[in-house]
Every structure is written in C-alpha cells, then in structure tokens.
C-alpha cells in the first residue's frame, strides 16, 4: 500500500480534528466552510434554482449567524491554570541545555510542556518526535494531530511497541523564493527493520525525497537505535491508540448554537423589516422607496399594506440557543475539573473511565515529555534513568500566609534561603521539597543550576 495510507483510527477521528481546527480558528473559519456547518434551508435552495442571483439569500442568512468563541475561551482559561504549574526537571550531565533549548525552534522544556497541553486540550492527540541535530544535540518536535497519519505496533524486544510511524510535513515549494509561503506535503517514515530504526522521506507518489538512513546511537555499546523515537501523546494516556477529543462536546454544542442563531437573527431581521405589498395599480404606475420621507400615489383602485413576520418561534429558538450554551459550558467544566474536593480514590475511580480532564492531560503530557527526554538521553549515550520531568496538577489558588511570606523575605535578605524558595512560595503557596544541602547550594549559586550529585 502507498505511504498515503491512513490508519483506521485516524480515518475515524479525522473529521473531529477538522471540526476542532475550525472551532479554534473561530467565526471566520466556520463561515468560510459554508454549508458544511450551516445547511442551506430548502426554500433558499429552490430560490437559487430559479435564479442564481438568489445565492445572496443564503449569504445573508449565514452572515447574520453568530458563532460564539466558547471553545477558544475555554482553552485560554485552562491554559491560564496550566501556566501556573511548575515542572520538576532533572537532567543528566550534558543535557542541561535542553531546559532552555529543547524544541526544533529553540524553546525550552516548560514551553514544550505548555504547547503539548494546549494541543491535547484541543485535539486529544500530539505526535512527538525526538531527533538529534548535526552537532549531536537532541531536540523534540511536536506535530499536529492530523499529521500522524499512520502507525503500527509490534513485538519489539519482548514488548509491544511502535514499529512504524508516518508523519506529514510541509516543506517550501520553492526554497529559493524567500517571499513565497507555498508548501508541498511530504511523508516522514520511521520504521523498525531488523531491530534497527530507519527513517526516510517520501512524496505523495512514494518517490524518495530523502534516502533511507539508519539512526545511530552515540554509545560504544550500542550502534543503532532499537526503537522508533515517536510518542503519541493522548488526553488520558500515551498509547498509540487515539484518545477522545476533550472539548469535542463543547465544539458540537457551539456549532449547534451557531446554526440556531442563523434562524434566530434572520427571524429578528424579518420582524424588524416587514415586506410592503400593493395591488390594483395601473401597469404604468412606478413605485420607489418607502419610508417617512416618501409617499405612494396608488390611484383610486390601489391598495397597500405590510406582510408582517410574526416570529412566533423566536422565543423557542432563543431558549434552544441558551440550552446549547449550557451544554457547552458544562462540557468545558467537566474537562477543566480542577476541584480538589474528591478523595484520591474517588478521583482515580472516576478517571479510570478514560474521561479526559485537565488533570489527566497534564499528567500524561508530563509523562510523554519524560519519555521523550529518556529517548534523547539514550540516543546521545547518557543514562535515561537520570531523567525526571514531573508536574503536579495542583490548580488550587495558593493560600499565602503574610507572616510566613515576610519571614521568608527576611531570611532571603539575611542569606539564609534563596530567592528561588521565596518565589516558589509566593507563586504556589508551598515550600520546595528538597533538603538543606540543596538549599545551601541555591543560596551560594543564585540563578544557577543544581545538578544531580550522582552524575
């Protein structure tokens, strides 16, 4: 089969990801899709058959509709909570540079974490690829949900693991034209062959763009990479299976409200602009505009009036729009779910049903980054066991004790504790969980990096 072949799970969720693309882009993207999201009423379709100029009826119908940005606002609110979380990061010697330079475009691990969470909230899936640049430095690339078109798992070293991953990439159509934004789609393939990971790049016709190469490991004991360096992060776990889209219910309710609003605002328009009618006029009688500054001479036999749109169903449509708003907000609240009232056992029981929440998204995103860093460590010949990337999904607003805050500030000024410790209490309401020796090093080396003593 060709490289363009798509996994059955991909095909099952492709339309959902497209909907989320448009929902997050907002009203312009939704309306650009025309009848895809706003079906054409039968009367308008019949009117267009009689005269193509009547397409304006649907265009006006669509333009009056209002698409609410509940999905975009929901993501923004959730990311506001996530931005307050502080990852706990431990890296082996030689990889500390990744704290501030971990992505293919030069951003650090915290930014990588926030990007992954944001995409996971919107799409429930983030393909993550670990790679090494020409200088042997590891970095991480993240792809859009719709870019991971195919994958396959198999027995790798006695465990079930990826043996194939196909990812879409967009490349400049004319690299020599610095002003052009045209791109062509290519397919990057990772595949296990005889226990070694190989990669190549093909076009849509299976023609080779980049020749096949075997990925080497910078370690004298192992010559080749024995795994596919791709992680499919999901909203509930990091298996290759496609997870649910967390905000899909919100997006669908928002779309239904958009469809109802087209009827609602059209009805209001007709109610505010009644249609005048006349009868009994001579065929030579010419009528122009109506209004407070105009008058019609109807002659002796002429009659006129208005066809008024009663709008009996307006209240019902408005009520239905409010119902959809409530559905959308409830769906967003279920995903946000940041209350700390439940016991750990109760929360675990509820989350075992694979329902995506902000808690599960944060935890699985942190686990995916930790796995990516372990891949990077192993690829560059370092100990993957010395990697740690942990994020505690604590979204509660910190309860600061002014007296404690003042005492900490005095301790900082006296050289007893570090500014880092003071700042962590100020932003989280908690003191750091490390021993006295580590705190002493922070005081001696403010702003510096504390390395694992075992390295």
**8-state DSSP, 199:** E
Residue 90 — φ and ψ, nearest 5°? -130, 130
CB 180 within 8 A of CB 173: yes
* Every domain of the chain and the residues it spans: 8-26+70-246+354-390, 37-66, 402-444
Q: How confident is the model at residue 355 (pLDDT cuts 50, 70, 90)?
A: low
Which pLDDT does position 336 carry in this prediction?
76
Beta bridge partners of 213: 199
Residue 301 near residue 280 (C-beta atoms within 8 A): yes
**Alpha helix segments (H runs only) across 295-418:** 314-336, 344-351, 358-379, 402-413
**What stretch of H or E contains 24?**
helix 8-25
Structure confidence by residue, pLDDT tens digits, 390-419: 998 877 766 777 888 888 888 888 888 887
Enumerate long-range contacts of 168-176, CB under 8 Å, 24 or more apart: 168/143, 169/201
**Three-class secondary structure of residue 238 per DSSP:** coil
Is the pLDDT at 160 greater than 50, yes or no?
yes
Alpha helices of 26-94 — where are they, by DSSP H?
27-32, 42-50, 55-64, 70-82
pLDDT in tens, 228-247: 999 999 999 999 999 989 99
Go through 1-32 and write b for each residue having 16 or more CB atoms within 10 A of its CB, e for each that does not.
eebbeebeebeebeebbebbebbbeeeeebbe
Residue 420 has pLDDT above 90, yes or no: no
Question: Does residue 354 surpass a pLDDT of 60?
Answer: no
Q: Is the pLDDT of residue 183 over 80?
A: yes
Give residue-wise pLDDT tens across range 365-391: 999 999 999 999 999 889 999 999 999
Residue 341 has pLDDT above 50, yes or no: no
Percent of the chain with pLDDT over 70: 87
- Continuous segment of H or E residues that includes residue 15: helix 8-25
- Quote the mean pLDDT of the chain: 85
pLDDT at site 335: 84
Separation of alpha carbons 185 and 202, rounded Å: 9
- Mean local confidence (pLDDT), 269-289: 74
Whole-model pTM above 0.85?
Answer: no
Phi, psi of 214 (to 5 degrees): -90, 130
| Nearest by Cα to 147 from 165, 121, 120 | 165
Asked whether residue 305 carries a pLDDT value surpassing 80, the answer given is: no
Q: Lowest mean pLDDT of 205-209, 364-368, 444-448, name the range.
A: 444-448
Does the pLDDT at position 353 exceed 80? no
Q: How far is CA 379 from CA 9, 29, 229, 359, 393, in A?
A: 30, 42, 9, 30, 30
Distance in angstroms (rounded) separating the CA atoms of residues 237 and 363: 9
User: Each residue of 40-99: pLDDT tens digit?
Assistant: 999 899 999 988 888 999 999 999 999 999 999 999 989 988 998 889 999 998 899 999
Contact between 181 and 193 (Cβ < 8 Å): no
Contact 51, 79 (CB under 8 A): no
Cα first-last separation, the chain: 48
User: What is the C-alpha separation between 166 and 189, in angstroms, rounded?
Assistant: 5
Please calculate the CA angle 321-327-331 and round it to the nearest 5 degrees: 145
Q: Which two tokens mark 415?
A: 């050289």
Query: What is the predicted pLDDT for the residue at 398?
Result: 66
Please name the helix (run of DSSP H) or strand (run of DSSP E) that holds residue 114, with its range, or none: helix 109-123
């Amino acid at each position: 089969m060709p490289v363009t072949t798509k996994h059955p799970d991909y095909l099952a969720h492709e339309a959902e990801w497209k909907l989320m693309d448009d929902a997050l882009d907002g009203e312009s993207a939704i309306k650009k899709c025309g009848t895809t999201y706003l079906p054409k009423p039968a009367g308008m379709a019949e009117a267009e058959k009689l005269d193509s100029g009547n397409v304006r009826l649907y265009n006006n119908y669509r333009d009056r509709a209002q698409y609410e940005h509940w999905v975009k606002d929901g993501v923004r609110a959730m990311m506001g909570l996530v931005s307050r979380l502080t990852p706990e990061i431990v890296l082996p010697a030689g990889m500390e540079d990744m704290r501030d330079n971990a992505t293919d475009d030069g951003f650090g691990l915290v930014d990588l974490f926030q990007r992954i969470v944001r995409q996971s909230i919107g799409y429930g899936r983030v393909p993550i690829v670990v790679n090494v640049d020409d200088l042997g430095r590891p970095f991480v690339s993240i792809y859009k949900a719709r870019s991971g078109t195919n994958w396959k798992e198999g027995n790798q070293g006695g465990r079930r693991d990826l043996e194939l991953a196909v990812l879409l990439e967009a490349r400049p159509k004319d690299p020599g034209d610095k002003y052009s934004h045209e791109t062509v789609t290519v397919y990057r393939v990772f595949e296990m062959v005889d226990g070694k990971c190989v990669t190549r790049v093909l076009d849509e016709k299976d023609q080779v763009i980049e020749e096949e190469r075997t990925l080497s490991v910078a370690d004298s004991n192992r010559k080749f990479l024995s795994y596919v360096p791709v992680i499919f992060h999901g909203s509930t776990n990091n298996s290759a299976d496609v997870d649910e889209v967390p905000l899909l219910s919100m997006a669908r309710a928002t779309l239904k409200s958009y469809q109802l609003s087209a009827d609602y605002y059209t009805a209001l328009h007709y109610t505010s602009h009644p249609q005048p009618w006349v009868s009994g006029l001579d065929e030579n009688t010419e009528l122009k505009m109506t209004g407070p500054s105009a008058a019609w001479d109807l002659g002796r036999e002429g009659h006129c009036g208005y066809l008024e749109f009663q709008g009996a169903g307006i209240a019902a449509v408005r009520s239905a729009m409010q119902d959809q708003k409530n559905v959308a907000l409830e769906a967003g609240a279920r995903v946000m779910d940041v209350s700390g009232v439940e016991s750990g056992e109760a929360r675990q029981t509820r989350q075992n049903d694979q329902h995506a929440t902000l808690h599960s998204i944060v935890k699985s995103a942190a686990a995916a980054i930790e796995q990516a860093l372990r891949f990077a460590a192993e690829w560059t010949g370092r100990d993957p066991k010395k990697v740690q990337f942990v994020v505690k999904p604590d979204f509660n607003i910190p309860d600061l004790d002014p007296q404690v805050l003042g005492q900490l500030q005095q301790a900082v000024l006296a050289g007893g504790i570090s500014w880092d410790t003071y700042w962590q209490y100020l932003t989280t309401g908690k003191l750091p969980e490390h021993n006295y020796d580590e705190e002493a090093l922070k005081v001696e080396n403010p702003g510096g990096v504390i390395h694992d003593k075992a390295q």
